[in-house]
Amino acid sequence: MNKLALVTGATSGIGAAFAERLAADGYNLILVGRRKERLDEFAAAHPEVSVASVVADLATDDGIATVADLAASEPLDLLVNNAGVAHYMPMADLPADKARELLSVKVLAPTLITRAAVGPMQSRGAGAIINVAGMIAFSGPADKSLMPRRATYAGSLAHLVAMSQALSAELDGTGVQVQVLCPGVVATEFHTRQGMDLSAIPRMTAADVVTAGLRGLELGEVVAAPGVEDMSLLEDVFRADLAAFGGQSTELATRYR
């Protein structure tokens, strides 16, 4: 029997690359996106696998509920939370409706869809969840001269990192894997929809990001960073996080007295 994967944001970029790779690997697919014509084109081009197309807007409560219901009811072997939205701007310039859309798509949707999938996966003793974030999640301390101002976007990705790490620890020993996939700059429609021309900047292909994510599952990586050769750099970050967490006291630190 073919394995079953659910991929959100499947109509372009990394989500479309996941759909292509998983179809080639023989998965049956539940593909979620806002553009019905692209979902239909993919299904027509891949008659060799079962493709269920779900038109849903994960910026809405109804869209999230539709996909969460599928995650809870279908016997998923793999869930890929990839849906994204290109609201990449300073917080003061970000309209409230766009901020709400960004947080719904990148925080609320993957959280609730993951929550729906976890219980059934635990009951079956198997399954994997990939939450697609990005290396920008680690860019918080960067000066604005080094990185574009993007507080809301960076914060949403940082949520996915922390949630995935904590959930992986919760699920240790259950047979369910959790990964947060953190690419750098990727050659997709994301930046063109934002009106940004990055054609002169080297970018990773979406297919390579997918390869890293799936190989990262085989390696047991909780944080998969496709473009980072020396993983000790991230391991140092995680050790420093735990050291800071463990270094607290009930006494007020001297510098605050």
Confidence of residue 203 (pLDDT cuts 50, 70, 90): confident
Q: Give the whole-angstrom CA distance, residue 77 versus residue 65.
A: 20
| pLDDT per residue as tens digits for the range 223-238 | 999 999 999 999 999 9
Integer CA distances (angstroms), 22 to 15, 30, 37, 51, 180, in order: 10, 11, 20, 11, 18
Q: Give the whole-angstrom CA distance, residue 102 versus residue 109.
A: 10
Q: What is the pLDDT of residue 86?
A: 75
Residues of the chain with pLDDT > 90, as a percent, come to 84
Q: What is the pLDDT of residue 39?
A: 96
Average pLDDT of the chain is: 93
Q: What is the pLDDT of residue 192?
A: 62
Residues of the chain with pLDDT > 70, as a percent, come to 93
Compute the average pLDDT of residues 141-169: 89
Q: What is the pLDDT of residue 65?
A: 98
Compute the average pLDDT of residues 199-215: 88
Pick from 8, 33, 187, 58: nearest CA to 41: 33
Integer CA distances (angstroms), 224 to 30, 126, 217, 243, in order: 23, 20, 8, 22
Q: Are 21 and 214 in contact (CB under 8 A)?
A: yes
| Residues annotated catalytic, as ranges | 153
Confidence of residue 141 (pLDDT cuts 50, 70, 90): confident
Q: Give the whole-angstrom CA distance, residue 252 versus residue 125.
A: 45
Using N-to-C axis directions, what is the helix angle for 109-124 and 61-73, rounded to 10°? 10
Q: Are 23 and 73 in contact (CB under 8 A)?
A: no
Q: Is residue 99's pLDDT more than 80? A: yes
